[in-house]
Amino acid sequence: MKDFTSTPPPVKHIAEPTVRRLSGYLRFLEAFDVEGHETISSGELARAGGTTSAQVRKDLSFFGSFGKRGLGYAVKDLIASLREILGLDTRWPVVIVGAGKIGAALAQYRGFGTHGFDVVGIYDTDPSRVGTRLNGVTVRADRDLEGDIATLTPRIAVLCVPGEAAQAALDRVVGAGIRAVLNFAPTSLVAPEGVTVRAVNMATELEVLAYALTNESRD
């Protein structure tokens, strides 16, 4: 049972590009804080995030007034506010499906933990991978997936399976109650309403670059 007497929940809808920018501001601010800076102006944040000062102020003012006119924003306070806005004031348990090269590389990625995400399970169909340890987590058989989701209650699944297996993997984690999925398989997936799927697709990123190169010569 939750108690909201102290902190009323924000009920605003933010567009995805905004969320991405906020995430970028947060990452820069964390480094800026370590360097010992106490305040930052919208202009400085804009330069770091590749946007404009007006955009930064619009993005932040959407959630309230965090800055001091004439001074800028208090770095530590802004970090705390952004963490709360992005839902990073709790830790998020995550399962990784697929312990191949990408799955294994991700499992060993430090940033997972430092950004509030805990890998609570890694699954693979290949018996030779089951039982191996990756960064302190033992790879389990894929048949354990549904049971583990029920007991460990991760909210996010990261799919690192081959393209052919991705839709089936998605269906399984969704069936087990997961509603947020990060897909590293190079296939576009169909998910039911209410399930958020984000795709990280090498081919698409490279194609965006190829397009940029093809058309840069003009202008």
What is the three-class DSSP state of 210? helix
Smallest distance, Å, CB 37 to DNA? 13
DSSP output for 51-116: S-HHHHHHHHHTT---EETTTEEEHHHHHHHHHHHTT-SS-EEEEEE--SHHHHHHHT-THHHHTT
Of positions 22, 25, 49, 57, contacts DNA by CB under 7 A: 57
112 binds DNA (CB under 7 A): no
Smallest distance, Å, CB 126 to a second copy? 16
Site for DNA in 71-90 (CB under 7 A): 71-73
> How far is 45 from 137, CA to CA, in rounded Å?
37
Token pair recorded at residue 121: 């399970």
Residue recorded with tokens 């089936």: 168
For β-strands 72-74 and 67-68, DSSP reports them as antiparallel
Smallest distance, Å, CB 140 to a second copy? 21
**For residues 108 and 143, which CB has a smaller minimum distance to a second copy in the complex?**
108
Residues that bind a second copy (CB under 8 A): 9, 11, 13-14, 16, 19-20, 23-24, 26-28, 31, 47-50, 85-88, 92, 94, 101-102, 104-106, 108-109, 111-112, 115-117, 155-156, 179-182, 186-188, 190, 194, 196, 198, 200-216, 218-219
